Amino acid sequence: MSMLHLVRTSAFQTDDFQQCLNVLQPTDCIVLLDDGCYNLNHDLWQEALNKVALPALYIIEAHAQARAVTLDKEKINTLSLDALMTLICETEKSVTWQ
Amino acid sequence: MSITEKSVAILNASPPLSKANAKDSLDVALIFGSYEQAVSLYFQGDGVYQLIAEQQPELIQQKDFLKTFAALEFYDIENIYVCHHSLNQRGLAEKFSIENVQVLNQDDFAISLHQHQTILRF
Amino acid sequence: MKNIAFVITTPPNSNLTATAINIVTAALTMNISVVGVFFYQDGVLNGSQHLALPNDEYQAHQQWQLLHLKYNLPLHLCATAAEKRGLSDDINDNQAKNVHEAFTLSGLGELVELNVKADRLIQL
């Protein structure tokens, strides 16, 4: 059942992340990549933290650093693209919000 | 895994007319249907505008591809789900161009979407 | 080991495509089987032979070509999406042919086939 959500857009610009949260289930994982990294500082991030456990929330480290998004271990875990591929293989399905 | 065991969800999130996403998505749905794959359609966010009745795309130089929704049943695409929350946000009544549309509350919509192995979103 | 297929919808001049290339490359270098990449919508522009990006910019189209050469990675362009964007692979008309040889024009049915072959279909 568990689903991997690949979030590639900023919630400051589009409704994609809100829609993602609307279908998010407690066993799902979220990965922020590309402009999705900006969601870490959006009010909606708290909703993500409320819905799934911190170990299931990830951000692509290089994508965050490229955007000068400050990382906070209390809010998210970092991931390399190799680790993302492993995560994709481990989860049953994925949906891309872009 | 046999062909029929893997089910596909197509999640439609784009409004129908300005961008080609809705048309491109429908083409994907129809091809999966014609290969006899189990495919379900989901409409969320601005995607719900795709199914609203009495649109007149021809007034703005747009081919009326929305008529094609009526053909879905001939491709055995019978699971068509619309997010009630998205309709509500937009002040839309449940007045669709096709029958056989199921309006689901947010939780049921989410749970239903999770039943599929492949999800494509346009 | 899982079989993965990818659907790419972003054009070569988008940084989202660089991300997609990095993810596909990660899979290939980790010996994950990538059964194919299907380019749809503006993604088909990655297959154009005539792209001329400034030398100091990321050459997404060349990266796809390299992945094809190095890993024999199947690169399918949706034929309808390609035609709509002026791309042709007509071998009888050298003037018209403008799809790079690393890419194959395929029907949308190829996407269905990839989905059947793959354990996971990832959209980027």
Helix, strand, coil percent content, chain C, rounded in steps of 5 = 40, 20, 40
Residues of B in contact with A9 (CB under 8 A): none
| Residue A91 to chain C, least CA–CA distance (Å) | 10
Cα–Cα dist B48/A68, whole Å? 36
Contact A6, B11 (CB under 8 A): no
Catalytic residues of C: 78
* CB nearest to C111's CB, from B1, B31, B119: B31
Residues of A in contact with C16 (CB under 8 A): 8, 34, 98
User: Model confidence over C99-115: pLDDT tens digits?
Assistant: 999 999 999 999 999 99
Could you state, in order of their start, the residue ranges of all structural domains in chain C?
3-123
Max CA separation in chain C (angstroms): 44
Distance from the Cα of residue A25 to its chain's centroid: 13
Name the pTM for this structure: 0.96
Please name the helix (run of DSSP H) or strand (run of DSSP E) that holds residue B109, with its range, or none: helix B106-113
Q: Which chains touch C (3 or more CB pairs under 8 A)?
A: A, B
C17 contact partners, CB below 8 Å, separation of at least 6:
C8, C10, C11, C43, C46, C60
The second-level CATH assignment, the architecture, of A3-97 is 3-Layer(aba) Sandwich (3.40)
Could A23 and B85 be called an inter-chain contact, meaning their C-beta atoms sit closer than 8 Å? no
Strands lying side by side in the sheet with A3-7: A77-79, A57-60, A29-32, A3-7, A93-97
Residues of C in contact with A34 (CB under 8 A): 15-16, 19
N-terminal to C-terminal alpha carbon distance within chain C: 21
User: Model confidence over A24-53: pLDDT tens digits?
Assistant: 999 999 999 999 999 999 999 999 999 999
SS3 C108: coil
Q: Alpha helices, DSSP H only, in A1-80?
A: 16-23, 44-51, 61-66
Could A24 and B110 be called an inter-chain contact, meaning their C-beta atoms sit closer than 8 Å? yes
Could you state, in order of their start, the residue ranges of all structural domains in chain B?
3-121
Could you state, in order of their start, the residue ranges of all structural domains in chain A?
3-97
Beta bridge partners of C66: none
Q: Does C6 score more than 90 pLDDT? A: yes
Counting one residue from chain B and one from chain C, the pairs whose CB atoms sit within 8 A come to 35
Residues of C in contact with A81 (CB under 8 A): 22-23, 26
- Region C3-123: CATH code: 3.40.1260.10
User: Model confidence over C31-58: pLDDT tens digits?
Assistant: 999 999 999 999 999 999 999 999 999 9
Q: Does B97 score more than 80 pLDDT? A: yes
| Residue A22 to chain B, least CA–CA distance (Å) | 7
Band of pLDDT at residue A1, cut at 50, 70 and 90: low
Contact C66, C58 (CB under 8 A): no
Lookup: tokens for C84: 């709509």
Counting one residue from chain A and one from chain C, the pairs whose CB atoms sit within 8 A come to 43
Could B31 and C109 be called an inter-chain contact, meaning their C-beta atoms sit closer than 8 Å? yes
| Residue A11 to chain B, least CA–CA distance (Å) | 14
SS3 B59: helix
- Is B78 at the interface with chain C, CB within 8 A? no
- Region B3-121: CATH code: 3.40.1260.10
Cα–Cα dist C1/B118, whole Å? 18
